[in-house]
Amino acid sequence: MKHQLTVVMLNWERPANTAKLSLHYSKMAAVRQVIVADCNPKHSQEPFPIPASDNFVYCRFTADTGLVTRFAAAALARTELVLLADDDIVLPEETVNSMLKASLLCNSDHLVGVFGRCPQTDGEYSTANIFGRVPIVLTRAVVAPVILCCAALPHVHAMVADCGGQPYGNGEDIVLSYTAMRQARGHFNEALGGLKYQNAGYDDASAISKRFKGHVEHRTKVVKWCRRRLYNEIT
């Protein structure tokens, strides 16, 4: 494939999943490199199962730098596009190719993901999957331009200062989505319907929605913050 992307994953409590997924993605023609950022301090003395190489980068952090870490890791990519993927979902090659193709067709000016979200008019967050043009796409599986990840990073810090949330940066996908719309002068992002994927440990005890209370309420606060601070034309 002429165009390639870099896969960026965070590792927290599923190192076996992360290692397996790293090998899975590294074999794809569309993938130039896999970057794993591990910000769980308890792993600081544990070797990762995959040795570093030209197409696999493992970044170990001695403190929990939060969900914003995925954007910092994306800045290391040698490609213009990154696939941000969680460690609890398996995306087959056909899905990765479809996401990359859709992103290239739109000249990489917005986000292309698997899971779309459309908040209510008053900003209340909804967990319903919506496909097509949407304000929000989850970083659980999304192709994004590196430049947008870098642009969103300082906004996440500002959001945390105003909204709080756990872990640090919770709601970073909402911030990234509204940053993309701001950069694209109002064009919504895209959630592709009909793409195949397989859950792998999703919604277990280590999931953010399970570890921290008030998940939906917090995301509503982040939506309203983004509308006010990043894209106040949307009401």
Q: What's the confidence (pLDDT) of residue 88? A: 93
Q: What's the confidence (pLDDT) of residue 180? A: 95
What is the rounded CA–CA span in Å between residue 82 and residue 56? 14
Q: What's the confidence (pLDDT) of residue 89? A: 95
Q: What's the confidence (pLDDT) of residue 184? A: 85
- Indicate which CATH number applies to the domain containing 223: 3.90.550.10
Q: Is residue 140 situated within a structural domain?
A: yes
Along the chain (235 residues), what's the average pLDDT of each consecutive run of 10 residues?
87 88 95 93 75 85 91 96 96 98 85 96 94 96 97 97 93 97 89 94 58 82 95 56
Name the residue range of residue 109's domain: 5-229
Q: What's the confidence (pLDDT) of residue 135? A: 96
DSSP strands (E only) in 86-188? 89-90, 112-113, 116-117, 132-134, 136-137, 141-145
Pairing mode of beta strands 31-38, 5-11: parallel
- Domains in the chain, number: 1
Q: What's the confidence (pLDDT) of residue 234? A: 44
Rounded to a whole number of angstroms, the CA Rg of the chain reads 16
